[in-house]
């Protein structure tokens, strides 16, 4: 970890074409925050990042502006491991942004922590980015032809340098607008330009971004829970395509780019967001509970208890139990000091951690028929291990129910699900998957059921990993409907 005052700080990762199968993504799930207040915001940033820790457990960083300069501090680990009181004292300011990131294979390095930090002749810029840009190669060539020199090969640096180029030519507001027009993919951004804080959300609204009020000021964060943790108030979502300036007195919307349809990520509702977050008008907990109810209707089972995989399947399982009338029970206990296995950097570490993470409650599962409910199955290794764990503890039957449809296609827009051959559901029937995980029966919620539970129009939800049809043009892949190619209004 390191601190820099007025020095170049950038995100370093190998450049990859977003459509290249078999390679890692660059900026998968992360969390961003930014605040402007009449008092110090360094503690607001610290506690908001802790509230967003579920979105990234590898690294964290904070950038603030004071005495005419931007200061950046970032490092590897959890937020509370990186930032001490003395470090936060050195970052005191009325404006700042922050970032948390989760690890990916081959990129667990301090250099990959954000915010990134660059200069123009007239401005300092710090950028915190959640999402993934699919036209990185063409943007990098364009910027290179215009004279930009790249220190790294990451799409986050491309965003920052594109912004710097546009600001130099057109000024801050028009520069931000031109940046949005040129970027393709998913991006929720917290940006610090000198002492001004901006929030930008991609025109499809793929990644969440929320605005709220705090003591003596206002802010932006990836999820509404960040404001609750500060004793603040969630006010509204950043609109898809909206550019918002955040000041100590409120919000200034500088522009909103509108598309005919949106593409809110279904995986935010199913898995990644915290259950108490509000995403685009929907409480995530309510969505997951409704998924469970629909799942019970679509895939009933004769059983003694409904058992969630904690914590990811808890709300789904509660809904299943309510709809089915089967008693809900905590048949698995979670060690809360172990990382989320989905976002761990290697399959070996994921499997090794499962025994540390979960243990069965034998008095609940022994000689019982169990409905085991979880939010999703990606690779299948974790579920196979959990089913075996329950049967080893004496469960007579284990009926697995999953709160998302089968994942069959890669995500190019921000989730580390990289190759088709990794997905247990790709090219396999439900019966084949059931045998692999060792369950007595297996049922996934349908796509129609998922859409109904989310409560948004189907055409406004990104279902790319379920259907293989994407909301943005990706070489070699199908676009979900041609109207996604229309110009901005």
The answer to whether the beta carbons of residues 303 and 369 sit under 8 Å apart is yes
CA distances for 309 relative to 53, 107, 162, 336, 429, angstroms: 20, 29, 43, 13, 23
The DSSP output letter for 59 is E
Separation of alpha carbons 129 and 101, rounded Å: 10
Rg for the chain (alpha carbons), in Å? Answer: 22
Query: Pairing relation of β-strands 461-462 and 264-265?
Result: parallel
221 phi and psi, to 5 degrees? Answer: -155, 160
The answer to whether the beta carbons of residues 225 and 14 sit under 8 Å apart is no
Closest CA to 262 of 110, 458, 404, 129: 458
Chain centre distance of CA 325: 33
**CA dihedral sign of residues 43, 45, 46, 47:** positive
The DSSP output letter for 7 is -
Closest CA to 240 of 213, 192, 200: 200
Bond into 115 cis (ω within 30): yes
Q: Which of 17, 30, 265, 462 is catalytic?
A: 30
CA atoms within 13 A on the CB side of 134: 19
- Is 30 designated active site? yes
Separation of alpha carbons 276 and 433, rounded Å: 32
**Active-site residue set:** 30
């Amino acid at each position: 970890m390191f601190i820099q005052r007025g020095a170049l700080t950038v995100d370093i990762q190998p450049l990859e074409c977003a459509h290249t199968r078999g390679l890692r993504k660059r900026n998968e799930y992360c969390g961003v925050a930014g605040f402007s207040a009449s008092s110090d915001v360094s503690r607001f940033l610290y506690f908001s990042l802790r509230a967003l820790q579920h979105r990234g457990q590898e690294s964290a960083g904070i950038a603030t502006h004071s005495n005419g300069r931007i200061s950046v501090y970032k490092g590897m680990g959890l937020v509370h491991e990186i930032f001490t009181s003395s470090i936060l004292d050195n970052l005191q300011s009325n404006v700042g942004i922050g970032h948390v990131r989760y690890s990916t294979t081959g990129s667990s390095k301090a250099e990959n922590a954000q915010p990134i930090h660059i200069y123009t002749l007239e401005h300092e810029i710090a950028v915190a980015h959640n999402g993934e840009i699919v036209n990185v190669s063409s943007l990098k060539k364009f910027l290179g032809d215009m004279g930009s020199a790249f220190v790294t090969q990451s799409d986050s640096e491309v965003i920052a340098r594109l912004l710097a180029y546009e600001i130099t030519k057109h000024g801050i507001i028009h520069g931000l607008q031109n940046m949005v027009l040129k970027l393709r993919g998913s991006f929720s951004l917290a940006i610090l330009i000198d002492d001004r804080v901006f929030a930008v959300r991609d025109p499809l609204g793929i990644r969440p971004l929320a605005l709220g009020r705090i003591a003596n000021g206002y802010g932006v964060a990836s999820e509404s829970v960040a404001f609750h943790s500060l004793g603040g108030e969630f006010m509204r979502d950043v609109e898809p395509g909206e550019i918002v300036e955040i000041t100590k007195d409120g919000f200034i919307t500088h522009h909103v780019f509108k598309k005919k349809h949106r593409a809110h990520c279904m995986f935010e509702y199913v898995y990644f967001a915290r259950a108490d977050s509000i995403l685009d008008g929907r409480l995530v907990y309510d969505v997951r509970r409704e998924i469970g109810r629909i799942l019970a209707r679509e895939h009933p089972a004769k059983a003694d208890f409904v058992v969630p995989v904690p914590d990811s399947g808890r709300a789904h399982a509660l809904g299943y139990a309510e709809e089915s009338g089967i008693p809900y029970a905590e048949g698995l206990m979670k060690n809360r000091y172990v990382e989320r296995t989905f976002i761990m950097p290697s399959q070996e570490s994921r499997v090794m951690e499962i025994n540390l993470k979960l243990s069965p409650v034998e008095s609940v599962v022994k000689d019982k028929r169990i409905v085991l409910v979880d939010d999703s199955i990606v690779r299948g290794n974790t579920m196979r291990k959990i089913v075996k764990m329950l049967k080893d503890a004496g469960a007579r039957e284990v009926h697995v129910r999953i709160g998302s449809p089968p994942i069959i296609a890669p995500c190019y827009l921000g989730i580390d699900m990289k190759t088709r051959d990794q997905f247990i559901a790709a090219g396999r029937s439900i019966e084949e998957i059931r045998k692999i995980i060792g369950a007595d029966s297996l049922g996934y919620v349908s796509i129609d059921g998922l859409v109904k539970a989310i409560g948004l129009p189907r055409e406004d939800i990104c279902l790319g990993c379920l259907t293989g049809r994407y909301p943005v043009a990706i070489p070699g892949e199908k676009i979900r409907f041609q109207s996604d190619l229309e110009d901005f209004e």
